[in-house]
Structure 1
């Protein structure tokens, strides 16, 4: 793309040297200062990373360039809006671009950078250019204040309420409080989600999370002495608070999930069942009558992929993207099931569903989470640094 720096702009506007578009002089000055600030910050981070690669305790991961994350966050909002409006093709278009940006190592700063991305149509390209010009996308601001989006966003956070149900409900209610007055619009599982909606939106302090761990640890070890399991997600990353209780268990001979759940119910810890299978449980738990109810997910992983699942479900989301980028550079696709040979069909991050087909056999080389890092020639990164 050739940028005409001699282009004549309306009074009060100047040519943006990055995009060739006319924008307000104040906006350009603000934008250029921000770019310089971001570059300086990224340079410092790169230097820190380079200086610390030999020390497991001091590794700093620059997981996503600054512009890219902001663009992705904006496009996710627009994708959610189209999902609420039942526009699956638009949703898929946004998801493809989001996927492409998340795998893009370079900070997006110019229209030329956008051209290097896969699957970007003209309309989405214009939105990204608008972000480069102004630092935001006007449509996003409009969506965030749209009552339909606000309502749809609340509805989708109720367990069991998907896009089709959201569309149906939005033809029958005007606001969220109205749904509370008409629970008959929901099925039994969705009613449970609505019943505990307020509790589910209260973060779990890490101190409370540790109490959950003690209860589960005692019950699991009473049933299966020495069983290997972890509380994953924010708990394992040692965040100050958690969204829910996520538990990963390594399968072993004789392990029966329904027996585990029975014990948790007998202790009045699990108070509601949302979904249960042989290897996965989703429900509601509670430490005491005085404390909020919490969402709990329990997943059993086979020994062949337990450590891959541990890495994946520990997160963070951005760190998982970072790991997948490293794997892709080595011709591999990384998921919670293991490594595959990377190709167009399975190398994505956000699009499609991961599966355990065509997994490379790593049973002789992967015996811990650390071994996955070694396989990729990476220094191990402690969970709290992810």
Structure 2
């Protein structure tokens, strides 16, 4: 089920532990459908990957955040036997192996993988012989499965970011795009490159209008701020997310950078891209999420992560009588009801509001 196995190395002396934990995480997500265990295994693997020395026992591993007794027991079993009984059983299950393989395809979730298995598909090779079972996104995901799984070196991720930002600036210098996730936290390689995009003409108040449609009784979109004023200079030039995202994607398509579309909504685009130049030969999946301008820096903070850093910062926000999420920072009233979003024009301002020492993105991998 695991995409590849690596031995302990100087860069990650606990790589083999991380491998089996991530394989267990995939099983829990795709086969058992237990997201709680999935997240627990991934959190433990993340803590082990950042630990600078080799862990020699479960009790030693338990000193790390996110490593509980059951995971520590698995580490002890692996140290003593060089294998894991639970993984042996998983690998002996035709259904588990098939679902793990099929779930590698972009657009094929656990439910679709089970459906394919029920239809007699047990491998990627068999799936390639049954194209009628896949939609457009899944067909492209199957075509590029190996390329999408390849890690993206930091130098290439930086080139992707630079190319997208320069092409959007040529279209309209008011576009702003940021690559978040582990790349922004300084990782040497990334699994994907996800862009957050914004423009002053698109605010949460603009976003709410199409969400409401013609019904006066329809609830506002999640995270919207109905009474918040648009960014300075944007009121007279309001644009919907669909207009702005479509223009941005068309610009990148015209340059030949985006080669295929996986899906395209009003505020989220997923596609396939390839950097120009002979040195770039691997197609990458590109995700572009358009965020209202007044919510952009809360989104940048949230999608930069890490998950543990976000959890700690949200807990601190509550202590300071604020509620913080990917959309807004809001003060809590005397009854605990969130008030209107406070204006945020940078990540640093969020830290200042919360009286929380600023941490640069590369200091947030907890």
User: What's the TM-score, normalizing by structure 2?
Assistant: 0.64
User: What's 2:259 paired with?
Assistant: 271
Q: What are the residue-to-residue correspondences of 1:278-293 with 2, within 5 Å?
A: 278-288=266-276, 291-293=281-283
User: What's 2:156 paired with?
Assistant: 208
In 2: Cα distance, 1:141 partner to 1:166 partner: 20
- SS of the residue corresponding to residue 234 of structure 1 reads helix
In 1: Cα distance, 2:269 partner to 2:341 partner: 28
User: What's 1:361 paired with?
Assistant: 340
Q: Is the 8 Å Cα contact of residues 206 and 242 (structure 1) preserved in structure 2?
A: yes
RMSD (Å) for aligned C-alpha atoms: 3.9
Structure 1, gaps ≥5 residues long: 1-65, 102-107, 110-124, 343-357
Flag the 1:144–1:361 CA change in 2: closer, same or farther, 3 A: farther
Q: Is the 8 Å Cα contact of residues 268 and 287 (structure 2) preserved in structure 1?
A: yes
- SS of the residue corresponding to residue 297 of structure 2 reads helix
User: What's 1:315 paired with?
Assistant: 305
User: What's the TM-score, normalizing by structure 1?
Assistant: 0.61
User: What's 1:28 paired with?
Assistant: none
In 2: Cα distance, 1:332 partner to 1:97 partner: 27
Flag the 1:189–1:324 CA change in 2: closer, same or farther, 3 A: same
Structure 2, gaps ≥5 residues long: 1-13, 45-57, 60-67, 202-236
C-alpha displacement of 1:376: 2.6
C-alpha displacement of 1:131: 5.4
Cα-to-partner distance string for 1:23-72 (whole Å, 9 max, x where unaligned): xxxxxxxxxxxxxxxxxxxxxxxxxxxxxxxxxxxxxxxxxxx9xxx99x
In 2: Cα distance, 1:206 partner to 1:92 partner: 29
C-alpha displacement of 1:220: 1.1
Correspondence 1:249 to 2:197: yes
User: What's 1:164 paired with?
Assistant: 111
In 2: Cα distance, 1:100 partner to 1:209 partner: 24
Please say which structure displays the higher CA radius of gyration.
1
In 1: Cα distance, 2:98 partner to 2:248 partner: 37
Correspondence 1:154 to 2:85: no
User: What's 1:55 paired with?
Assistant: none
Q: Is the 8 Å Cα contact of residues 24 and 41 (structure 2) preserved in structure 1?
A: no
Flag the 1:285–1:360 CA change in 2: closer, same or farther, 3 A: farther
Aligned residue-pair number? 280
